[in-house]
Amino acid sequence: MSLRIIRNIVESENKNNETRNSSEWDTDDWDAYAFQINEAQNMLNNLNVVGLLCRIIVKESNRAILEESLLVAIAVLLGGNNKSQMNFHEYITKDVENKFIHKIKEMLVECFDVIKRSQFKRNTKMGKICEID
């Protein structure tokens, strides 16, 4: 819930959107509020939210918390926020054991495995349907 509140600090600046999270926004959805969004992002950067996100991602095993952390990361990076990018760069550069990158890789591999399994099931089902015709 706390991560959702942090994400909402950025997303609430977009007066055009009340339902979707920032990962689903097109540029046209938020461009009119770019200044306000940038200010909210910079405020979060001053509070070292990027460091917090990186530490959560490295140490957390709960999938829902990891996904919410990524949504917050998207919100603070929205529009190519330079301070956010530099904060991520700094964290990754200092992460000599590459724990952050390994965790992101692990999450991607898990997602690809889920997609692969679901596609296999779908293709198998479609194959059976085609055989009937």
pLDDT of residue 61: 92
Taking CA atoms, 75 is separated from 19, 63, 79, 112, in Å, by: 14, 19, 9, 23
Give yes or no for residue 94 having a pLDDT over 90: yes
pLDDT band at 130 (very low <50, low <70, confident <90, very high): low
Number of Cβ atoms within 10 Å of the Cβ of 23: 13
Q: pLDDT of 69-92, one tens digit each?
A: 999 999 999 999 999 999 999 999
- Answer positive or negative: Cα dihedral of 14, 66, 6, 88: negative
| DSSP per residue, 64-112 | HHHHHHHHHHHHHHTTT-HHHHHHHHHHHHH-TT-HHHHHHHHHHHHHH
Q: pLDDT of 16-61, one tens digit each?
A: 876 778 988 988 888 999 999 999 999 999 999 999 999 999 999 9
Verify that 44 and 102 share a domain, yes or no.
no
pLDDT of residue 126: 74
Split into its structural domains, the chain has a count of: 2
Verify that 38 and 102 share a domain, yes or no.
no
Verify that 59 and 102 share a domain, yes or no.
no
Verify that 127 and 100 share a domain, yes or no.
yes
Give yes or no for residue 129 having a pLDDT over 90: no
Give the domain range for residue 63.
2-94
Verify that 88 and 122 share a domain, yes or no.
no
Verify that 68 and 132 share a domain, yes or no.
no
Verify that 71 and 103 share a domain, yes or no.
no
pLDDT of residue 108: 93
pLDDT of residue 132: 53
pLDDT of residue 128: 67
Cβ burial, residue 25 (10 Å; 0-12/13-18/19+): buried
Verify that 66 and 78 share a domain, yes or no.
yes
Verify that 90 and 106 share a domain, yes or no.
no
Q: What is the mean pLDDT of residues 93-100?
A: 94
Verify that 71 and 115 share a domain, yes or no.
no
Verify that 82 and 100 share a domain, yes or no.
no
Verify that 57 and 107 share a domain, yes or no.
no
Question: Which of left, alpha, beta for 48 (phi over 0: left; psi -120 to 50: alpha)?
Answer: left
